[in-house]
Amino acid sequence: MSITLIIIIATSIISFIAFSNHKLMDQFIFYPPAVRRGQIYRFFS
């Protein structure tokens, strides 16, 4: 299985879960001020 397919599957699963869990979605939405405060995971999610 290619790395591209793994990334697509992981993104799809996380997106599906986040659409039904608003708190999780808020945590992973890209928000530049939060990245500046050290929440680097937002940059990659």
Q: What is the pLDDT of residues 10-45, one digit of tens each?
A: 989 988 998 899 888 888 787 888 888 888 877 776
> Does residue 12 sit in helix, strand or coil?
helix
Side-chain half-sphere CA neighbours of 41 within 13 A: 5
> Higher-confidence residue: 9 or 45?
9
pLDDT at site 40: 82
Structure token digits, residue 8: 């697509």
Q: Using pLDDT thresholds of 50, 70 and 90, give the confidence band for residue 2.
A: very high
pLDDT at res. 41: 77
